[in-house]
Structure 1
């Protein structure tokens, strides 16, 4: 999951106001960089922040710390047809940004801005560039030309080449403030604060992902995963059968849930299986039962297995997804059982 629901909206979400003001102050002091590496947790609004900044930079008459919304440049950005704004993404979700895509930027970067102001490029996610694509971008970062702004968005800073990072000014986006995020999610979804808070727990404090849970029926997928795990523990289904039903889903998301449930089990088991320490209300009964039975050694070993599998997926090592799930779910089955 990402900022996809809001990536086409130019807006600065409440918890990012401080970063917005910081960048506008740099611009007012004529210290605005030509390349920004916008880094932060997934689903906090980096894409819409970058688009808002692009609109501000391209606007001919910005007022009150925002684009005016009325000039010719703003009309073009609002219609999605600004000739001086270039959005670079993978050709398909989950695929890398290729060298040919980066090379196509050359004529844009070194041309004259058609509206007479800035040329702006947004790469999202920048960590999806393969090595060749990243190397092709280096020259543009070193010699971008005047009035050029490149914004590289990432939630996986460790996957960015050091040579890329060293040529950008890094802007770290903070995690969403819990109070602001809860109020915002509640307003967007028209739910009460308690439901918004639980959605944020499930979504690891990612407000945009919390919206996705409700709007894209990710709660349905989550319920399917929980049922599969419970069925394995109760011998209603085998690990192989559940793996078969899940391996085609978004496994980064699924394994993120499983890892967060492990953390809940560990937190509770270290405190005499205290139910008050379980944050995931939708999985409370199963997690509490495991907290009373599972050994710390088994739990931490399983947590390590899940993390290795997540890294294989994140770094696109092309694991056999069905085998990966079969292995993890077999280990899940053994958690409450003696060796």
Structure 2
């Protein structure tokens, strides 16, 4: 990837052209909600759009990458680019951050250009910061664009959503996503894309940072417990305490995929097994958020999995 994004990813060309055409005709919405699952490229698209909107010498439908504005954007110092993100150590976007941003967008633009505010993730706006932002969206400053990014757009208030233009980013077509992944992540294959739910950027990140290998190891642990080749306690000891939350999040995803396969008639256990495991994993995540003991939580879910797998095996045998 280049330091300055000047064009969208291959599967985003439709969304890109829609916004470029709107901007050319002076119809670009002042607030856009970019929504879709993790790992499909919403943030890269947003960066390319910001660069396009602020570029002083656009080449048709992309930023030039060389003008004064592009140089400042690459250096992270463009005065017309602003961000609303959670402060370090905070879990939400504070009302003070919104108020500070509002005071900045109300002043004159540098170079006579547009101003762009990136809100990421928008679903971390709390009630006070949402209300403060709404006041600005209802009477937006001229030539100012708010780009809100979210994986969970339903968590935004209906009033806030109604003030934005929704731009959806679905999981890209599999062949296109796989071609991009293989080209950009050395050694990544189709199984990485499958594990990442078809999201190519997430697959690349997991492939590079070891997450993919950990998830495969966790799946192997469950298979060993289910086949009684390893005890639940021994399997639990193979999961690091520091990874407890990640493990339970993976377990929710893994059981969800198992449930879908079971419904399609292509899984090792009945759908009820995966459904119950998902419910238990979600409850485990809630317990961990209340500071439950990580090791005990992992041991408990492994023992629960042994029970569920045994029940499922009996059900499958009886159905034959």
Q: TM-score, normalised by structure 2?
A: 0.84
Deviations 1:247-306, CA, capped at 9 Å, x for gaps: 5327357534553355336625864xxxxx57xxxxxxxxxxxx1xx4443333323334
Structure 2 CA distance for partners of 1:8 and 1:62, relative to 1, 3 Å? closer
Q: Which of 117-126 and 168-177 deviates more?
A: 168-177
| Runs of 4 or more consecutive aligned structure 1 residues displaced over 6 Å after TM superposition | 5-8
The structure 2 residue matched to 1:112, chosen from 108, 111, 120, is 108
Is the 8 Å Cα contact of residues 259 and 306 (structure 1) preserved in structure 2?
no
1:141 to partner: Cα distance: 1.2
Question: Which position in structure 2 is the counterpart of 1:78?
Answer: 74
Quick check: 1:62 aligned with 2:58? yes
Structure 2 CA distance for aligned equivalents of residues 308 and 264 of structure 1: 18
- Partner residue, 2:243: 249
Instruction: Give 1:142's aligned residue.
Output: 138
Q: How far apart, CA to CA, are the structure 2 residues paired with 1:92 and 1:227?
A: 36
Q: Is the 8 A contact 1:243 1:329 kept in 2?
A: no
Tell me if 1:153 matches 2:149. yes
Alignment correspondent of 1:26: 22
* Contact residue 110 and residue 144 of structure 1 kept, 8 A: no
The answer on 1:133 being equivalent to 2:133 is no
Deviation per CA, 1:160-184: give whole Å up to 9, x if none: 1111101111111122121111110
Q: How does 1:1-339 map to 2 (within 5 A)?
A: 9=5, 11-92=7-88, 95-191=91-187, 195-230=188-223, 232-233=225-226, 234=228, 236-238=230-232, 242=236, 245-249=239-243, 251=245, 254-261=248-255, 263-264=257-258, 267=261, 271=265, 277=266, 291=268, 294-306=269-281, 312=286, 318=290, 320=292, 322=294, 325-338=298-311
Say if 1:337 and 1:250 are closer, same or farther in 2 by CA, change over 3 A: closer
Contact 1:200–1:210 under 8 Å retained in 2: yes
Note the C-alpha offset of 1:89: 1.8
The answer for unaligned runs of 5 or more in structure 1 is 272-276, 279-290
C-alpha distance in 1 between matches for 2:38 and 2:281: 19
Provide the C-alpha distance between the structure 2 equivalents of 1:259 and 1:199, rounded to a whole number of angstroms.
Answer: 14
Q: TM-score normalised to the size of structure 1?
A: 0.80
Query: Over aligned residue pairs, what C-alpha RMSD do you find?
Result: 3.1
Between the aligned partners of 1:213 and 1:6, the Cα distance in structure 2 is: 20
